[in-house]
């Protein structure tokens, strides 16, 4: 029995996940023909998605990582976001695609779009693997999205519960949730 089976139920299995990522890759490849594309992955959660998505895009792209942490007042995010790891290269003139694991309240993405937009890229678009629209507090335009999910706490494929479960190859829900 795998280590997680006692605690986690499958929500989106590996095959479904990978098939959708290949579709997103095809779409992004079409949209960014002839453009200087930089993927900006948000750590740590988007790292698994970022690497699979990058492999599914047939373009000479570059990628960067950015780390952010949100302040929480109780269980709810306050919308105050702190940069814990900044980009190493300027974005001036680049077509930036922000790659995120999940958009929940949207507050983190709102902050990121303002922050990245101020660096004078040629364009900024958003790609998220998951969206929980029932929790949205601010409206964020999502250009590419993998799956819309209900309001459950999900883990796996980069998403953590107390830093654990990121290495599951699928999206799961905690049985206790």
Would you count residue 38 as binding ligand 5GP (CB under 6 A)? no
| List of residues 6+ apart from 168 with CB closer than 8 A | 4, 8, 155, 156, 157
Closer residue to ligand 5GP, CB minimum distance, 64 or 101: 101
Shortest distance (Å) from residue 100 CB to ligand 5GP: 6
Query: Which residue stretch of 17-25, 33-41, 54-62, 154-162 sits at the interface with ligand 5GP (rule: CB under 6 A)?
Result: 154-162
Closer residue to ligand 5GP, CB minimum distance, 147 or 161: 161
Find the binder of ligand 5GP among 10, 16, 18, 70 (CB under 6 A).
70
DSSP secondary structure letter of residue 19: H
Distance CA 119, CA 104 (A): 25
Distance CA 117, CA 36 (A): 16
Would you count residue 77 as binding ligand 5GP (CB under 6 A)? yes
CA distances (Å), 118 to each of 40, 63, 89, 115, 168, in order?
Answer: 15, 18, 14, 5, 35
Q: Which residues are catalytic, by number?
A: 104
Closer residue to ligand 5GP, CB minimum distance, 35 or 164: 164
Place of tokens 């206790």: 176
Residues lying near ligand 5GP in the complex (CB under 6 A) are found at: 45, 70, 77, 100-108, 153-155, 159-161
């Amino acid at each position: 029995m795998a280590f997680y089976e006692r605690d986690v139920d499958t929500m989106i299995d590996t095959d479904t996940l990978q098939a959708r990522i290949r579709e997103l890759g095809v779409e992004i490849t079409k949209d960014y023909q002839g453009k200087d594309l930089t993927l900006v992955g948000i750590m740590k959660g988007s790292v698994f998605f970022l690497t699979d998505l990058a492999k599914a895009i047939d373009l000479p792209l570059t990628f960067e990582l950015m780390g952010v942490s949100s302040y929480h007042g109780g269980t709810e995010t306050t919308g105050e976001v702190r940069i814990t790891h900044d980009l190493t290269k300027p974005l001036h003139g680049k077509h930036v695609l922000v790659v995120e694991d999940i958009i929940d309240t949207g507050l983190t993405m709102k902050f990121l779009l303002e922050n990245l937009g101020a660096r004078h890229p040629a364009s900024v678009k958003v790609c998220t693997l998951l969206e929980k629209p029932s929790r949205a507090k601010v409206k964020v335009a999502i250009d590419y999205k993998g799956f819309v999910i209900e309001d459950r706490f999900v883990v796996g494929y980069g998403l953590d519960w107390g830093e654990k479960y990121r290495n599951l190859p699928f999206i799961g829900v905690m049985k206790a949730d």
